[in-house]
Structure 1
Amino acid sequence: MYQPRRVAHSGHVPVRTLNYHVLRWGPEGTHAGAQAGAQPPLVLMHGWMDVAASFQFVVDAFSESFVQGRPIIAADWRGFGLTQGPVQDHYGFPDYLADLDFLLDQIAPGQPVDLLGHSMGGNVVMLYAGARPQRIRRLINLEGFGLPATQPEQAPARHATWMDELKQFHRGELALKTYADADGVARRLIKTNPRLPEDKAQWLARQWARPITQGPNQGSWEILGDAAHKIVNPQLYRVEEVRAAYAAITAPVLVVEASETQMEQWWQGRYSLAEFHERLQSVPRLHREVIQDAAHMLHHDQPEQLASLIEDFLTAEAPLP
């Protein structure tokens, strides 16, 4: 099984009505980033049906000079991993934005941070950086493409679908699949991402899932994600608002894509990479890079390549355009 090079310290911080689970690497202490001479905190936010520990391979790939004196913090979004709070039956982007705002107040009060998000997390951090530009020193978006544009006339059907799926959820019809053991979870991870090595899959399976301790499925393993995340968002995705958020970002932005991104496959003609690139034209200070021989989980596929890109972007001394 994979052995982490850098050990994460696990803990919780209060965020609104929740107890957010965070992993910390580097200087210890709640406000470590505020110490004299410390590097800006690097905050890592995962994607849909993922967990904070997913960034372990990239953290291990960072150079010693980069991590020296730099707090690196990853958090489990609400409804994922070990973040604890009231039971919900649906999730929306406004809550993610507010959660992130409260979280940064806890872990880096009064201090700009370097912020990175993957996939869903990438979408959230882009919107957040437009709403709170002063909180971000530099921003990194890993495969956070956003969603297909919607039109107002789609709202009635969207609301009807949302209500129907809420009823399915409350009838227990949207439950996530369980697995016989941790090896079964690892097999599932490898099936989704064939590039994931066996040793990393076995390690990640134990961060991504846990054994069920009671009930009819006792002994099986369950994913650390809320099935309510499968319910459609009742709020339409308004591209004009997204462009406005992008235009309000003042920090330099690095957008990283995988050479074998699966975006076109997911949306089947409803949304293209070219459309995403057109939206990115609204970002004032944009840098784009492509990770070779990688798919959507590029932080698992090529952690060394990604770590090098992150280091170069965050440590560049010359003013970024």
Structure 2
Amino acid sequence: MYQVLQASTSTFVSLRGCRYHLRQWGNATGEPLVLAHGWMDVAASWQFMVDAFSDSFLQSRRIIAFDWRGFGLTETPATDSYWFPDYLGDLDALLDTISPEQAIDLVGHSMGGNITMMYAGVRPARIRRLVNLEGFGMPATRPAQAPGRLGQWLDELRQLRQGEMALKPYADLDAVAARLTKTNPRLDVDKATWLARHWAQADASGQWRILGDAAHKIINPSLYRVEEALEIYKRISAQVLAVEASDDSLSQWWKGKYTLEEYHERLKSVPQVKVARIEDAGHMLHHDQPQALARLLEDFLTDPV
């Protein structure tokens, strides 16, 4: 199994009535660096990247990763649907808890990247530097899609009530690890086996279940409005590093409905942004190339300019 180089400590805090799980590395009195994971992921997913940080960087930083509500060891609220503004509210409460006076450095992956980009535009004074890892936003929508979107949301709520959206259980830890490597063939088996223990948990019957609420699968009933997102991007005052993998995730997901070129066009609304690319990597680039990503982040976060 993968051998951890930098052990983490776990703590819990109450944020907006939800018991949140935090995982921390580095120097408890260092400069805060907050890591926000993506959809159907957990805070422990950052371990490989943290292990790749240099000793000097780790000694200067208080690194905090957290499980979003309904993921990992964070409490699952009494809800059948998750709302994007709640993620912003949780992040705001977290930063008020861990760094009420000081602007922080923030890294977000995928869903976490989308959330952190929005947060940095709404609370620009709270962020010193921002790293967005494949948080592309969503395809543009049209008002005519609203009735169908709301109808789909209602249909999926019914499916959830009827148990049709339950997450698949796994027979054992090896099966969970195999699920992770199937999704990401670049993920080494030793890393997959280590991560599986944090990504899933055995229930009373001995079956392993993913630590994610099935309600996360339900579509957002509100349309994604690009014009609103760009207005928020314009208000980001932090320097932004937008990192993408050499595998074109957007082409794989959206089949031409939303492209990397469109994403790059949207980034022009961000006042201070650099775009970087990690070679031989897919969407889970912090798993595929943790050393290359760690060097990129260290250079960006420590650059005095």
Which band: TM-score by shorter chain? over 0.9
Match of 1:80 in 2: 71
Preserved contact between residue 261 and residue 294 of structure 1 (Cα < 8 Å): no
Gaps spanning 5+ residues in structure 2: where? Answer: none
**How much does 1:288 deviate?**
0.7
Alignment partner of 2:130 out of 119, 136, 139: 139
Deviation (angstroms), 1:160: 0.7
1:241 aligns with 2:210: no
1:308 equivalent among 286, 292, 295: 295
For residues 262 and 238 of structure 1, the distance between their equivalents in structure 2, rounded to whole angstroms, comes to 21
Aligned position for 2:84: 93
Corresponding position of 2:245? 258
Give 1:282 deviation, angstroms. Answer: 0.1
Q: Take 2:71 and 2:279, find their aligned partners in 1: how far apart are those partners?
A: 29
The correspondence of residues 1-321 of structure 1 with structure 2, limited to 5 A, is: 1-28=1-28, 32=29, 38=30, 40-213=31-204, 218-317=205-304, 319=305
Cα deviations by residue, 1:38-92 (Å, 9 ceiling, x for unpaired): 3x21000000000000000000000011111310000000110010143210112
Say which SS state the counterpart of residue 4 (structure 1) adopts.
coil
Q: Secondary structure at the match of 1:84?
A: coil
Q: Distance in 2 between matches of 1:72 and 1:285?
A: 24
- 2:48, 2:99 → 1: CA distance? 24
The 4+ residue runs of structure 1 with deviation greater than 4 A are none
Q: Deviations over 1:104-140 (max 9, x none)?
A: 1111111100000000000000000000000000000
Task: Calculate the TM-score normalised by the size of structure 1.
Answer: 0.94
Contact 2:76 2:213 (8 Å CA) reproduced: no
1:186-209 CA-to-partner distances (Å, cap 9, x unmatched) read 000001111001110100000100
The residue identity in structure 1 corresponding to 2:54 is S
Alpha-carbon separation, structure 1, partners of 2:112 and 2:168: 23
Instruction: Quote the Cα distance in structure 1 between the aligned partners of 2:248 and 2:290.
Output: 16
Partner amino acid, structure 1, of 2:199: W
| TM-score using structure 2 length | 0.99
Kindly state the Cα deviation for residue 247 of structure 1 after the two structures are TM-superposed: 0.5
2:100 and 2:25 map into 1 onto residues whose CA distance is 18
**CA-atom RMSD, angstroms?**
0.8
Question: How many aligned positions are there?
Answer: 305
Give the letter aligned to residue 204 of structure 1: L
